[in-house]
Chain A
Amino acid sequence: MNKSTIVVGGGIAGMTAAGELSRLGVEVTLVEQEQISGGHAACWDRLFPTRRPAEEVISFLREQTDSKVNTFSGRPVTEILHHESMFTATLSDGTILRGESLVLATGYDLFDASRKEEYGYGIYDNVITSAELEGWFKNHQPVRTKNGRIPSRVAFIHCVGSRDEKVGNLYCSKVCCITGVKQAIEVKEALPACDVYSFYMDLRMFDRNFEELYFEAQKNYGINFIRGRLSECSENEDHTLVVKTEDTLTGKPMKMIVDLVVLLVGFVPRSQNTQMLLKLKLITGNDGFLQPEDEHNGDNLTRIPGLFITGAVKGPVTIANAVADARATALQVYSFLHSNR
């Protein structure tokens, strides 16, 4: 058999790894359970910090994979076996794929915001998630309340489902801060008369041009940043919302009536694959995401030789970082396939 690999998951990480490996001459089979590739990024409109259309990045990756990589879509991988140095991946329709190596690029789930009941998601009309707002932007849907009013105040809530012992997630989801800043700017652009507030604990502007976007949000868009975690949200009779927090920079409790609340939901491990990964005895961290063999010198390796992990399956990442990670993974896979095993 030729040097072969199976890539499970056709999000940014999986598509990048598949494209790179195919260019290196490896016979690649890519499996994506959805009909369209791109993973979560296919649901986003414009990307932080430059606000470049997400579609641009995805179509580049599609060019690298379409017609070059053997692709199975519309069906998930439900079982992975490792036997005598071969991997078999079984799809839900019974199709069996075989390869000498396998890349897990199965990504993440969004935190289920209804678990933070005190924020009223799924109960109140005008509490939405950042992922839904991205969908509105993508579908050119105007920013309105449920009953069609133009909001005059919008509140962004940071750290929903992250940094919160109450939901069992101690980790930071990394990308929601900058997503919130980007979306606050976009709301203000769409509705210049609207006052936009961001309620945060820390603003983690860790990557290049992130802090600059935060600065721009303050300087050119007048976004109001208030340091304090949302304690609770309640609905008025007219479906506006009361948000309660502490303004920790003045040390006083604060309340405000807003028309729309946007919850910046974090990353959680993808639950559908739990059983499949348990059977492989892969190691997870306390956060539930897959743990690489060596966080510095082998961060795509697992305890099984030939099985690699890449992208958000290891925890929160940006698209740029997922691309870099997947390229590194491709090289690891390539050298594994060419080693004397």
Chain B
Amino acid sequence: MKDFGYQAHRDNTIDFEKNDFRIARFLLEREPSLNLCIGCGSCTGTCSTGHFTEFNIRKIHTLIKRGDTEMARKQIRQCMFCGKCQLICPRGINLRNVILGINRALEKI
């Protein structure tokens, strides 16, 4: 085929019809408190990892709920499991269990 120099762009859209919600379902079943998130960003604000890298724990778990696991796959291992995020969360979300769950789920799915 002739190469016109065009490339198909990756779709940046969160598409609920195409995304994969298996990890979201697994996580919400394992740690239902995750649905209490109000997107305040306290977790990211306090996270030492996030201060030195691209790592953003709020975005990671929000994206998973949207069926988008790419960021989690690339970054979740950077978490040091210190638990500061959980200490600060105003909705009482068990974030260490969420992170543990993300790791478990990614091993399987």
Contact = CB atoms under 8 A, between A and B. Distances in A.
Contact of A250 (B14, B17, B36, B38): B14
Nearest to B60: A250
B52 interface: no
A341 interface: no
Interface in B61-78: 62-63, 65-66, 68
B39 A227 contact: yes
B62 A256 contact: no
Interface string A203-233: 0000000000001001100101101000000
B62 A253 contact: no
Given A219-B35, A252-B13, 17 more contacts: A215-B36, A215-B91, A218-B36, A219-B36, A222-B28, A224-B35, A227-B39, A249-B59, A252-B12, A252-B66, A252-B68, A254-B13, A254-B14, A254-B16, A254-B66, A256-B16, A257-B17
Contacts of A23: none
Interface residues of B, number: 21
Given A250-B63, A250-B68, A255 B14 contact: yes
25 contacts: A215-B91, A219-B32, A219-B36, A222-B28, A222-B35, A224-B65, A225-B38, A227-B39, A247-B62, A247-B66, A249-B58, A250-B62, A250-B63, A250-B68, A251-B59, A252-B13, A254-B13, A254-B15, A254-B66, A255-B13, A255-B14, A255-B17, A256-B15, A256-B17, A257-B16
What are the 10 closest A-B residue pairs judged by CB atoms, nearest first?
A256-B16, A254-B14, A249-B39, A253-B13, A218-B36, A218-B35, A252-B14, A249-B62, A250-B63, A250-B62
Interface residues on A, range: 10 to 19
